[in-house]
Amino acid sequence: MSSNIYYHFFDRELRQSIDASLTDSQLLEVISASIFMTDQYFYMPISHLYESYFDYPNSLKFIIKMDKMGLIHLASSHESVENFLLSRQYLYQHDKERYPMYFGQDFNIWGNNVLYLNDSTTEILKGKFLSSKIQIPEFSEGNKALLKKIISSTVADSDSKAVTFSLFRNALNKNNLSSAELKMTQKYIKKSVSIHYTTRYLEVGTGTIITGVTQLKDYDFLADNKYETNFLIYSHILKTVGINICTETGLDTILRVRQDFNVFPYVYKRINELVLCVGCLVDNMTIGKMQRIMNYLYSPINFEEIASSNDLLKNLHAYIADISGRWKELKEKMNNLSEKEKSIVILAVTDVEMKELLNAINKYCPQVAVQEKYSSDLVYRELVGSKLPVYIVQSQMGLTGMGSVINTMHKVCNNLNPGKVIMGGIAFGSDKEKQKIGDILVSKQVWNYEPSKIKSEETISRGDKVPASSFLMQLFQSSKIDYKENDAQIYFGLLASGEKLVNSKEFLESLRNQETEVIGGEMEAAGLASVCNEKNIEWIVAKAICDWGYEKDDNGQQLAAHNAFDFIMYNLKKIIL
């Protein structure tokens, strides 16, 4: 599984810290090339969308298209656009000139796929400044101590103000620094703000950034890879195979390819393998790496501009065949990498769930055979006859303990080389008035409700909210309209997960009070998300409502298990047959 990608270049403070002056068309090229860098999601704070709207209107229009497709998550700690705007006005009351978009503007923008944050970015940035050392080699120890004192006192006295360079400007001007020292200090603080801010969002979304953008190279060191998100490499490949990343027609074609679940996984896999291979071939070189990569990637073939997914498949196949034929070492690397096929694993927990999963496989994939297999520590079933390796595994209930989902997933990782894991089954619903038994709940995010701070008057959640795989989310969302089986409504949203077997109306109310967006809950998803994120595996959870978390009985379990796995296999047949 590739990483999520954080669009750091929309951060106005970051661009200004290094005097980057990217044009709208340049930024649009970077975004369009990035579509092929990951099969996961892209993300950025919703505040960056507001603050860049007038500088990059065409890029932001493309972002809005991506949002409607579910490709990008706009991050915020607020639950509505009204609360968000009020918070911005509060934070930037002292700096209205630089943030006029929050004061008196007549547009309200909000995301369809909001990545909700549990904590305050401002408070996290304050903590990072207070704990970091001064890294200015030209400064004496005395000047470093003085600057540390300035930063610490400014942050401590900042009250509700946002942590931007403006926060430090007056304090710096009041101290006895020479003009050269002041200039170095200003540059250092500007970059520190951007580094701390970017690091905060890389941690939140377990993501990486796009590298190789000429004006932004000062921040390339924050990426978690060497070449896999390099704009120069990807733009070269895409332009060579006939993808025009500079025109509106080309951009629309890119989005169509991304939505084609039969083509995009293969295209992404082959381009990613190519980039990994050329990166490995130059890894031991000390100079001239990028020039050598471009030599490997050069093809004399003049490919026509693509108009469809099939055009891209044909061009990409011919392109890789051409360059592999001219470079023996590249062909060997590509062949070795292609042999490591990732599998799809479907998880069930109860016997009822397993029975309904097998029924759904028989309904949607009658041409495959299900064979039971064993390893030294895992019993599983294989779908023989699918075009990808697909396995079925049964876990025990709960997050931890022998046979639980965490324990089972570690065995799955050791034995089955999973690339994607889908968990189905039964869950409790959150709203008896709007939902019904048998309705399907799909995790946009999973919230581990167990970690919490308990006060006498309230309980404050400290659990993570982890986003599901972007590709699997798109796959499942694509069928929301045309899936007509079982009279079930499909809800995409925040799924609560914890060790407790919930049978309490009061506890359910407390969960809803902590997270008003919660669509339901269960006992295993947080464990699945934890292991998959650690192992870099795509995942999603689709469970159906069997009860309401109180006055429980078993009457709805068979219907819920049936609906959940029917929906899962309806979607998976698109990519495994």
Boundary (domain end) residue, out of 338, 358, 390: 338
The arithmetic mean of pLDDT across residues 364-385, rounded, is 91
Bridge partner residues of 392 (DSSP): 346, 381
Task: Map tokens 């669009």 to a residue.
Answer: 7
Q: Residue 531's pLDDT is what?
A: 93
Bridge partner residues of 538 (DSSP): 420
CA–CA dist 45, 75 (Å, integer): 4
Give residue-wise pLDDT tens across range 85-120.
888 888 788 778 878 888 876 667 888 888 888 888
- State the pairing for strand pair 369-374/114-116: unpaired
Q: Residue 410's pLDDT is what?
A: 93
Q: Residue 400's pLDDT is what?
A: 67
Long-range contacts of 257-262 (CB under 8 A, 24+ apart): 257/35, 257/309, 257/312, 258/35, 258/69, 258/71, 259/69, 259/474, 259/478, 260/309, 261/474, 261/475, 261/478, 261/574, 261/575, 262/309, 262/574, 262/575
Give residue-wise pLDDT tens across range 140-156.
788 788 888 888 888 88
CA–CA dist 224, 221 (Å, integer): 8
Instruction: Centre a 10 Å sphere on the Cβ of residue 45 and count the other Cβ atoms it contains.
Output: 23
Task: Map tokens 């400014």 to a residue.
Answer: 154
Q: How far is CA 278 from CA 272, 285, 453, in A?
A: 10, 12, 49
Which DSSP letter does residue 470 get?
A: H
The arithmetic mean of pLDDT across residues 268-291, rounded, is 91
pLDDT of residue 459 exceeding 60, the answer is: no
**Is the Cβ–Cβ distance between 493 and 517 less than 8 Å?**
yes
pLDDT of residue 458 exceeding 70, the answer is: no
**Do both 370 and 300 map to the same domain?**
no
Range from 21-35, 52-66, 123-137, 150-164 that averages highest in pLDDT: 21-35
Question: What total number of domains does the chain contain?
Answer: 3
CA–CA dist 54, 469 (Å, integer): 31
**Is the Cβ–Cβ distance between 171 and 156 less than 8 Å?**
no
The arithmetic mean of pLDDT across residues 435-445, rounded, is 95
Domain that holds residue 351: 343-576
**Do both 542 and 486 map to the same domain?**
yes
Determine the angle formed by the axes of helices 248-259 and 264-282, rounding to 10 degrees.
100
CATH code (residue 570): 3.40.50.1580
Give residue-wise pLDDT tens across range 215-265.
999 999 999 888 999 999 999 999 999 998 888 888 899 999 998 888 898
Give residue-wise pLDDT tens across range 120-179.
888 888 888 888 888 888 887 887 888 888 888 888 887 767 787 888 877 777 777 778
Boundary (domain end) residue, out of 338, 366, 393: 338
**Do both 148 and 184 map to the same domain?**
yes
pLDDT of residue 14 exceeding 60, the answer is: yes
pLDDT of residue 62 exceeding 60, the answer is: yes
The number of residues in the chain equals 577
**Do both 164 and 130 map to the same domain?**
yes
Intra-chain end-to-end CA distance of the chain, in Å: 21
Boundary (domain end) residue, out of 312, 338, 364: 338
**Do both 311 and 351 map to the same domain?**
no
Q: Which helix (H) or strand (E) holds 410?
A: helix 405-416
Average predicted confidence (pLDDT) for the chain: 88
**Do both 272 and 178 map to the same domain?**
no
- Res. 201 pLDDT band, cuts 50 70 90: very high
Range from 293-302, 400-409, 506-515 that averages highest in pLDDT: 293-302
Say whether 569 sits in a helix, a strand or coil.
helix
Higher pLDDT, 397 or 340: 397
Q: Residue 180's pLDDT is what?
A: 83
Half-sphere exposure of 215 toward its Cβ, with a 13 Å CA cutoff? 15
Give residue-wise pLDDT tens across range 311-337.
999 999 999 999 999 999 999 888 877
Q: Residue 164's pLDDT is what?
A: 79
**Do both 331 and 348 map to the same domain?**
no
**pTM listed for this prediction:** 0.75
**Do both 241 and 331 map to the same domain?**
yes
CA–CA dist 46, 62 (Å, integer): 15
Task: Map tokens 């009985």 to a residue.
Answer: 553
**Do both 239 and 212 map to the same domain?**
no
**Do both 504 and 561 map to the same domain?**
yes
Q: Residue 70's pLDDT is what?
A: 87
CA–CA dist 235, 293 (Å, integer): 13
| Radius of gyration of the chain measured on its C-alpha atoms | 25
pLDDT of residue 478 exceeding 90, the answer is: no
CA–CA dist 232, 274 (Å, integer): 14
**Do both 367 and 411 map to the same domain?**
yes
**Do both 145 and 279 map to the same domain?**
no
Pick the range with the lowest mean pLDDT from 123-137, 360-374, 407-421, 531-545: 123-137
pLDDT of residue 357 exceeding 60, the answer is: yes
